[in-house]
């Protein structure tokens, strides 16, 4: 049934509770503030909210260092507030997903405290230890330049412990059956509180073998199956959306050949190549990435995104491709991070050029998968490069021209809203864009609305059409005898592009524009000839003049 696989046609919006809306004036966003903003998110067309970590944490990695999996950090509210929040989302027909950070805990987690203070405790084996520094301790760091090693000596335990990420994030020994049981319990807990699924952090590391002798971790894919089975036994429609920046030839290992493992993964391959195409106008590598990630089981789905809370990771591009993206979007070394990425938000990367920002989002909304928005991108927020590492793109939401962008009434909050300049809250905020029918916010809302009426993209199979130009990408989606064609021009110049829709049933020589009156009729040569503006885009449905789906039982 169409609606059963809800994640296929969802619009996901990710946010941090702490930077979204402060209701009590203490300078930190909270669940009550977020609840007040739900009508806004519903109006935007968001169907699923993904919350970044909000559990108790020393906060040394933006909450990705959890010290209690079964609670809400008191900065953000209480478990009661969380339950009110999920209830309020459900009232509005929205679902909630939460981050599941189980590769590691904080070093302040009671499990680790006990593990390090008492090697005889059962918790000792919940982490990964070595008596001597492993020879490859300097390999495989995730944050080069900031993190020096993946093994650190613990004075209390007098042993070395493994940490794939920062040294305050000891890795859990996920091969330990007790740890495995605890991970399921964590999922069960949040399911019981009403969530519809998890964005699972760092999946390849969660399932990789760990230990002093492990040079090249081996993924234990069956662990994914056990997670899924548990989830579906407890709550039939709950899903996992994996953060797994992996090569396409392992995609099916993650999804499972029969779709028995993960329901969703972020498509990092397409993400990185999208930025290459935005930077150069060359659609070749993006087409390759789309083809390489095409195969997936019927129930599986990609999460497609532009920017997230981390750096834009370009590590999978060839060095000269990466250099081209750096040159276009992050030429200043301070805009780059970890030698592989760009730490900026999308709008400033595209020089605030509305045409290019629209092109990027129009593309994201029409790539195969479920679109995932990052809070603030719908109004074109910028970054604050004076903040360290990835913090620069995690500033508070800009609601209005009131002090601190209306985010808080606190006179001096520790999270500072971006102020002044082209991206300051005085110029970029929700309230002003709400009033302006031509604002980017209202454009985004209209596009999301249309995207939700185009299930072909979510459900269908796609074909890359042979366009007469390499700087134009033309995709067709087919689903239940309906087809849409989406065309994007990555060039700074207007152009004329010719392509065959590939559909030749009765009435199918017409492409009905879903967004304007500018339809297209097939020429005598059997091709469509479309004139596109610089960075122009078109969404068409094949056949008839009604823009809605024709041949389907929705």
Nearer to ligand GLC, 282 or 391 (CB): 391
Which residue in the shown chain puts its C-beta closest to ligand GLC?
A: 64
Nearer to ligand GLC, 68 or 426 (CB): 68
* Residue of 294, 191, 310 lying closest to 239 (CA atoms): 191
Query: Could you tell me the smallest distance in angstroms from the CB atom of residue 244 to ligand GLC?
Result: 10
Given a contact cutoff of 8 angstroms between Cβ atoms, the answer to whether 480 and 551 are in contact is yes
Of positions 201, 383, 384, 471, contacts ligand GLC by CB under 6 A: 201
Of positions 101, 278, 279, 465, contacts ligand GLC by CB under 6 A: 101
Query: Could you tell me the smallest distance in angstroms from the CB atom of residue 117 to ligand GLC?
Result: 24
> CA 352 to CA 554: how far, in whole Å?
38
Query: Could you tell me the smallest distance in angstroms from the CB atom of residue 340 to ligand GLC?
Result: 13
What does the per-residue mask of binding to ligand GLC show for 111-150, with x meaning CB under 6 A?
A: ----------------------------------------
Of positions 202, 238, 300, 417, contacts ligand GLC by CB under 6 A: 202
* Residue of 481, 485, 478 lying closest to 500 (CA atoms): 485
332 catalytic residue (yes or no): no
Query: Could you tell me the smallest distance in angstroms from the CB atom of residue 63 to ligand GLC?
Result: 9
Query: Could you tell me the smallest distance in angstroms from the CB atom of residue 165 to ligand GLC?
Result: 4
> CA 298 to CA 204: how far, in whole Å?
22
Nearer to ligand GLC, 163 or 404 (CB): 163
Interacting positions 219-248 with ligand GLC (CB under 6 A): 243
Dihedral Cα 457, 462, 466, 468, nearest 10 deg: 10
> CA 283 to CA 447: how far, in whole Å?
23
Of positions 13, 54, 64, 443, contacts ligand GLC by CB under 6 A: 64
Interacting positions 243-282 with ligand GLC (CB under 6 A): 243
* Residue of 388, 373, 514 lying closest to 441 (CA atoms): 373
Nearer to ligand GLC, 85 or 268 (CB): 268
- Give the helix/strand (H/E) hosting 328: helix 319-329
Of positions 22, 30, 61, 107, contacts ligand GLC by CB under 6 A: 61
As separate numbers, helices (DSSP H) first and strands (DSSP E) second, the chain gives 16, 22
Which pair of tokens denotes residue 498? 């010719």
Residues 6+ apart with CB under 8 A from 249: none
In the set 30, 201, 313, 358, the catalytic residue is 201
Nearer to ligand GLC, 383 or 456 (CB): 383
What one-character-per-residue DSSP string does 244-311 give? ----GGGHHHHH-TTS-S-SEEE-HHHHHHHHHHHHH---HHHHHHHHHT----TT-EEEEES--SS-
Nearer to ligand GLC, 309 or 541 (CB): 309
> CA 462 to CA 291: how far, in whole Å?
10
Nearer to ligand GLC, 243 or 383 (CB): 243
201 catalytic residue (yes or no): yes
**Can residue 183 be called a binding residue for ligand GLC (CB under 6 A)?**
no
Query: Could you tell me the smallest distance in angstroms from the CB atom of residue 147 to ligand GLC?
Result: 10
> CA 273 to CA 207: how far, in whole Å?
26
Binding residues for ligand GLC, how many (CB under 6 A)? Answer: 9
In the set 171, 243, 313, 471, the catalytic residue is 243
Interacting positions 429-468 with ligand GLC (CB under 6 A): none
Interacting positions 285-324 with ligand GLC (CB under 6 A): 309-310
Query: Could you tell me the smallest distance in angstroms from the CB atom of residue 163 to ligand GLC?
Result: 10
Between vectors from CA 462 to CA 456 and to CA 463, what angle results, nearest 5°?
140
Nearer to ligand GLC, 43 or 315 (CB): 315
Taking CA atoms, 176 is separated from 57, 64, 429, in Å, by 24, 21, 48
> CA 297 to CA 269: how far, in whole Å?
18
Query: Could you tell me the smallest distance in angstroms from the CB atom of residue 439 to ligand GLC?
Result: 30
The residue written with tokens 């993206």 in the block is: 325
Between vectors from CA 143 to CA 126 and to CA 205, what angle results, nearest 5°?
40
> CA 275 to CA 316: how far, in whole Å?
12
How far, in whole angstroms, is CA 217 from its chain's centroid? 25
* Residue of 541, 535, 503, 534 lying closest to 520 (CA atoms): 541
Q: Please, which residues bridge with residue 488 across strands?
A: 473, 537
Q: Please, which residues bridge with residue 312 across strands?
A: 342
316 phi and psi, to 5 degrees?
-95, 0
Q: How would you classify the pairing of strands 129-130 and 370-374?
A: unpaired
Nearer to ligand GLC, 201 or 384 (CB): 201
Nearer to ligand GLC, 394 or 488 (CB): 394
Of positions 82, 165, 375, 399, contacts ligand GLC by CB under 6 A: 165
Positions in the binding site for ligand GLC (CB under 6 A): 61, 64, 101, 165, 201-202, 243, 309-310
Q: Which residues are catalytic?
A: 201, 243
């Amino acid at each position: 049934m169409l609606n059963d696989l809800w994640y296929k046609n969802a619009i996901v919006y990710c946010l941090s509770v702490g930077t979204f809306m402060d209701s009590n004036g203490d300078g930190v966003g909270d669940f009550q503030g977020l609840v007040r903003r739900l009508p806004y998110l519903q109006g935007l067309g968001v169907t699923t909210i993904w919350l970044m970590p909000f559990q108790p944490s020393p906060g040394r990695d933006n909450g990705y260092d959890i010290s209690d999996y079964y609670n809400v950090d008191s900065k953000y509210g209480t478990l009661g507030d969380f339950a009110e929040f999920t209830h309020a989302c459900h009232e509005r027909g929205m679902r909630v997903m939460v981050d599941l950070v189980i590769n590691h805990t904080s070093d302040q987690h009671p499990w680790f405290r006990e593990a390090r203070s008492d090697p005889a405790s059962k918790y000792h084996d919940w982490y990964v230890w070595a008596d001597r520094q492993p020879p490859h301790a300097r390999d495989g760091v995730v944050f080069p330049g900031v993190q020096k090693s993946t093994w650190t000596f613990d004075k209390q335990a007098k042993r070395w412990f493994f940490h794939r990420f920062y040294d305050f994030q000891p890795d859990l020994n996920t091969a330990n059956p007790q740890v495995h049981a605890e991970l399921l319990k964590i999922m069960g807990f949040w399911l019981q509180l009403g969530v519809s699924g998890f964005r699972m952090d760092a999946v390849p590391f969660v399932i990789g073998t760990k230990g002093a002798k492990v040079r090249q971790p081996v993924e234990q894919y069956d662990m994914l199956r056990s997670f899924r089975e548990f989830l579906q036994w407890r709550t039939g429609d709950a899903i996992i959306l994996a953060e797994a920046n992996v090569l396409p030839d392992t995609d099916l290992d993650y999804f499972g050949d029969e779709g028995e493992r993960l329901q969703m993964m972020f498509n990092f391959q397409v993400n990185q190549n999208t930025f290459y195409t935005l930077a150069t106008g060359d659609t070749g590598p993006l087409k390759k990435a789309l083809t390489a990630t095409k195969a997936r089981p019927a129930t599986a789905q990609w999460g497609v995104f532009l920017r997230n809370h981390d750096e834009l990771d370009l590590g999978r591009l060839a060095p000269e491709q990466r250099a081209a993206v750096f040159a276009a979007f992050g030429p200043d070394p301070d805009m780059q991070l970890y030698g592989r990425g760009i730490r900026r938000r999308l709008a400033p990367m595209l020089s605030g050029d509305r045409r290019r920002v629209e092109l990027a989002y129009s593309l994201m909304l029409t790539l195969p998968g479920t679109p995932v928005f990052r809070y603030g991108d719908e109004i074109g927020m910028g970054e604050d490069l004076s903040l360290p590492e990835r913090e620069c793109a995690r500033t508070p939401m800009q609601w209005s021209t009131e002090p601190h962008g209306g985010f808080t009434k606190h006179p001096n909050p520790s999270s500072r809203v971006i102020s002044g300049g082209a991206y300051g809250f005085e110029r970029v905020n929700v309230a002003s864009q709400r009033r302006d029918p031509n604002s980017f916010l209202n454009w985004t809302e209209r596009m999301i609305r249309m995207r939700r009426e185009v299930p072909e993209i979510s459900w269908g199979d796609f074909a890359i059409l042979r366009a007469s130009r390499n700087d134009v990408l033309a995709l067709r989606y087919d689903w239940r005898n309906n087809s849409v064609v989406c065309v994007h021009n990555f060039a700074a110049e207007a152009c004329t592009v010719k392509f065959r829709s590939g559909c030749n049933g009765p009435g199918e020589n017409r492409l009905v524009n879903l967004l304007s009156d500018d339809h297209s009729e097939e020429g005598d040569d059997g091709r469509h000839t479309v004139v596109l503006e610089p960075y122009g885009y078109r969404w068409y449905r094949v056949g008839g003049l009604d823009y809605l789906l024709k041949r389907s039982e929705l």
